[in-house]
Structure 1
Amino acid sequence: MTRRSGRLQAKHENGSRHADKIAKIKKEQCNRKKTLKRLSGETQNLRVQEGTCKAEVLIETPMEGLQDTFEQPGLSQGARPSPLPRLSWGCSEDVWVKMLSKEIKYKHTKSSLERHPRLQPKMRAVLLDWLMEVCEAYVLHRQTFYLAQDFFDRFMLTQEDMQKERLQLIGITALFIASKIEEIYPPKIAELAYVTDGACLEEEILQMELIMLKALNWDLCPETVVSWMKLYIQMASVYDFTNLLVPQFSQETYIQITQLLDLCILDINSLDFKYGVLAAAAFCHFISFDVVQKVSGLTWEAVESCVNWMAPFIETMTGYESAKLKDFSKVSSEDRHNIQTHADYLAMLHEAQQKCTIRISGIFPPTPPSSAEKSSSH
């Protein structure tokens, strides 16, 4: 009995200590909830004043940086209003300001190739075309490819005299990083090493990953060309503002616009333009500029040069088979337009660049798309 009582007493003491720990944890949780509620109330007071959102919010980049954007031709503060309606899940002005601020923070330029005298623009085009093919093979999303493209171009801007033998390693590593950010089930590193046909080992990809992350300063959340395009076409097609995050645009039109963007992004000169401008210019070839201005806040002066530069690309595309929606196993019909696809882009690019050369020489002056072309494309 004594022995049994001792065990029972020890069990009772352990139970008491356990109950005390639970009570302590619950008390801490309660205090945390009160603190969060108080902070939430303070944040709400900062965000809302007389039913409208204030502009003084924390964003990734300083507000002063936006002045550079507003000072550009066609991008005055009054000419770039937010196209977003009132949002139930956030302040539309905050969302818009943050998107604009990323255009300043995440810089890209075609001058990056000048830092690498042994590389040619065609090498970049071949690499990006191959990455599109890999994305389609592994059923990766368009955003994944465009993140990889952005990581690659910004990384090359931080390097000097890169050898062409390293390009495939940099490209597949950029896709490796992007897929881990964007995909629910990213491909294994062994799979990505396999598609390089032995050119890149798993250890090399892991080493390059660390090098790229450090060079990019872990800035991995740009607004890509395709994310801007999604915003524009969604705002142009939206009919139910209560479900703004649900796609309400035509999938067929969307993939035709993204095919144009896929083709244009292979050209190094596409880096002359901000991603938001590049997406707006592509949209101009499928819909009236009045709509583009409404959904982007950009003036014609801001997009005119990009629209004219893009004209040979859309002209070339019309000579090829139009992009079609593809079926992918284990991908819902609502999501299939988001999967990156591949076409004979290098052949299209060569033809479009020849037309660009002819236009630059003055034989055929650049002209904006006609209403008939827009209607037929749409």
Structure 2
Amino acid sequence: MEIHTRRHRTKQIQDQENIYAIKGKANVAIPTKKQGLTVRGALGDINTNVQTQREIGGKVAVATAEFEKKATLNRAVVKSNYSHVQSKVDTGLAASKVAVIQPSSRPPLRREESTAGLAARAAARNRAILKDVQNKPSELKESINIYIQTKKVQETKKTSKLPTLKENKEIRAVQPFLKVSTESLSKLKLEEGQGTTSIIDRKKLAQATLKQDLNVTPQLPDDIEDIDAGDNNSPLLMSIYIKDIYKYLTELEEKYPIEVEHLKHQKEITGKMRATLIDWLVEVQRQFSLVLETFHLTVGIIDRYLQEVPTLPRTQLQLVGVTAMFIASKYEEIYAPDIGDFVYVTDNAYSRAEMFQCERDIMAKLGFCLARPIPLSFLRRFVKAAHGTSKNHHLAKYFVDLCLVEYSMAHYRPSELAAAAICLSLYLLSSKKLEEVWTPTLSYYSGYSLEHIDPIIRKLAKIVVNVDNCKYKAVYNKYLDTSLARVSSLHQLKGEAIAELAKMPSNYD
């Protein structure tokens, strides 16, 4: 009987297996796994088959409740593990691990469900932490208290509302700026020594002092034109204090003079050697396309240095000249030539080290001061006062450059050379006499009378007339350029007017 019953049960099991083994045929129901019965693994899914198991009752319900309690307590750890894996997924560091993770068959939660679940999880986590703390030392309790206090402070900050911009304006409007009224401020007294002076009196005193400072430059006479009156709207022309600037330049001329025959103490250097050097520097200026200010400053540095060093060897004269132009180019030029360029133009007669040493020596002898004015600065001012043309300006610059080469003209001040040059230029390019050309306005702004500059004009005329017979042709060739109006080839420079000035002695001798 037992054998028969056992065979019957075995047959039932085999029949059931045969039914399950049939695949691909219609009307055969293969049992599948019900949704909601799986339990998530490392990613933190939980068992959702709670309701079905609770319906069974008895021990199954009790086991399910215990499982739910354990799952609730371990959700914090599970969530942290999931966050760790998710961060690696986002950064691509754990791509191989992500491949084995199976997506959940559970449908995505709505926002209301997800937020409710987060709140429930947070509450369960807090209860679990508090329960664990009860069994731990007091140190952990203190840390939990600090954590709770911190959360309360954060919640207080979030709930506190900052006043808006409109409320701030209303608050500032209500609060008084000063406790004392403005009327009492006008009665305030300031102590000065033994007495007191009111603010109003001090204001009047400051205005009077300002007017006195502005009136340092004397008022123009009635017959003198104010050549700066139309420059008030141009900040580059500095019409407010341009007169004081030229007054200061005149003082610098007197402070750094060049003596008459300043090479008389030199043992080897002569005037002809100086003229040869400066004539060569004119060609260097043209080769490097340097501005005229650089050339004028170069000549001033050379004369001041030769006046301070009376024992310069003749072999060092060219080194002094090229180093002086190197210094002047750094002072005036936007893009100064390199020291190697100056070594090249000397045909490597001097090294870079020798030029640097000469530069230090020159600056030390000049007291590191290059503030001595140049003739070109005054010439621009005088051309403006004479209402001269560009041709007058170029011709006057030609006369000044000729004077810089000539040793006998080196002791004249830059302003004297500029005044004589513009006067001769105006005279040759017009049919007026010298007395008519040198107007009271020119006399006022230059500071020289015609009697003072007449001898300089006649010496300059003699130099211009003898240019053809002079071996120093660099300045003459330079002003043959069309950009300078070819003033060195003007027929007025070979006319009777300039010849008479060169022959006749000065009327004021």
User: Same fold, TM exceeding 0.5?
Assistant: yes
Q: How big is each residue's C-alpha offset from its partner over 1:4-39, in whole Å with a ceiling of 9 and x where there is no partner?
A: xxxxxxxxxxxxxxxxxxxxxxxxxxxxxxxxxxxx
Matched, 1:289 2:289: no
What is the CA RMSD across the aligned residues, in angstroms? 3.8
C-alpha displacement of 1:50: 6.4
The equivalent of 2:215 in structure 1 is 53
Which one of the candidate residues 76, 85, 99 is aligned to 2:228? Answer: 85
Tell me if structure 1 keeps the 8 A contact 2:395–2:425. Answer: no
SS at match of 1:285: helix
CA distance in 2: counterparts of 1:197 and 1:302, whole angstroms: 44
Closer, same or farther in 2 for the Cα pair 1:82/1:203, shift >3 Å? Answer: farther
CA distance in 2: counterparts of 1:202 and 1:45, whole angstroms: 57
Matched, 1:254 2:393: yes
Tell me if structure 2 keeps the 8 A contact 1:99–1:223. Answer: yes
- 1:244-323 → structure 2 map (5 Å cutoff): 250-287=389-426, 288-290=437-439, 292-316=442-466, 323=479
Closer, same or farther in 2 for the Cα pair 1:55/1:212, shift >3 Å? Answer: same
**Runs of 4+ residues over 6 Å off in structure 1:** 44-47, 318-322, 341-344
CA distance in 2: counterparts of 1:208 and 1:343, whole angstroms: 35
Tell me if structure 2 keeps the 8 A contact 1:110–1:268. Answer: no
SS at match of 2:348: coil
Tell me if structure 2 keeps the 8 A contact 1:280–1:303. Answer: yes
Closer, same or farther in 2 for the Cα pair 1:233/1:324, shift >3 Å? Answer: farther
The equivalent of 2:340 in structure 1 is 190
C-alpha displacement of 1:260: 1.5
Q: How big is each residue's C-alpha offset from its partner over 1:315-357, in whole Å with a ceiling of 9 and x where there is no partner?
A: 3359988934445xxxxxxxx78xxx9989xxx9xxxxxx9xx
Tell me if structure 1 keeps the 8 A contact 2:302–2:320. Answer: yes
Matched, 1:199 2:349: yes
Q: How big is each residue's C-alpha offset from its partner over 1:295-323, in whole Å with a ceiling of 9 and x where there is no partner?
A: 42311222122122222023335998893
Matched, 1:156 2:295: no
The equivalent of 2:64 in structure 1 is none
CA distance in 2: counterparts of 1:190 and 1:45, whole angstroms: 57
The equivalent of 1:129 in structure 2 is 279
Larger RCO (CA within 8 A; separation ≥ 6): 1
Closer, same or farther in 2 for the Cα pair 1:186/1:321, shift >3 Å? Answer: closer
Tell me if structure 1 keeps the 8 A contact 2:275–2:405. Answer: yes
C-alpha displacement of 1:179: 0.3
Amino acid at match of 2:457: V
Closer, same or farther in 2 for the Cα pair 1:99/1:48, shift >3 Å? Answer: farther
C-alpha displacement of 1:253: 2.8
After the TM superposition, which of the residue ranges 159-168 and 176-185 deviates more from structure 2? 159-168
The equivalent of 1:22 in structure 2 is none
The equivalent of 1:35 in structure 2 is none
Closer, same or farther in 2 for the Cα pair 1:260/1:85, shift >3 Å? Answer: same
Q: How big is each residue's C-alpha offset from its partner over 1:263-300, in whole Å with a ceiling of 9 and x where there is no partner?
A: 12111111232111111111121221226425423112
Amino acid at match of 1:85: D
Amino acid at match of 2:216: K
CA distance in 1: counterparts of 2:225 and 2:413, whole angstroms: 17
Which one of the candidate residues 375, 395, 410 is aligned to 1:225? Answer: 375
* Count of paired positions: 269
Amino acid at match of 1:264: C
Closer, same or farther in 2 for the Cα pair 1:47/1:284, shift >3 Å? Answer: farther
Which one of the candidate residues 309, 313, 317 is aligned to 1:167? Answer: 317
C-alpha displacement of 1:54: 2.5
After the TM superposition, which of the residue ranges 228-237 and 317-326 deviates more from structure 2? 317-326
Matched, 1:210 2:360: yes
SS at match of 1:269: helix
- 1:95-114 → structure 2 map (5 Å cutoff): 95-114=245-264
Q: Please say which structure displays the higher CA radius of gyration.
A: 2
Closer, same or farther in 2 for the Cα pair 1:82/1:152, shift >3 Å? Answer: farther
SS at match of 1:157: helix
CA distance in 1: counterparts of 2:384 and 2:243, whole angstroms: 17
Q: How big is each residue's C-alpha offset from its partner over 1:222-243, in whole Å with a ceiling of 9 and x where there is no partner?
A: 2111221122112322xxxxxx
Tell me if structure 1 keeps the 8 A contact 2:391–2:487. Answer: no
Closer, same or farther in 2 for the Cα pair 1:258/1:92, shift >3 Å? Answer: closer
The equivalent of 2:288 in structure 1 is 138
Closer, same or farther in 2 for the Cα pair 1:123/1:322, shift >3 Å? Answer: closer
Percent identity of equivalent pairs: 24
Amino acid at match of 1:185: Y
C-alpha displacement of 1:110: 3.8
Closer, same or farther in 2 for the Cα pair 1:224/1:177, shift >3 Å? Answer: same
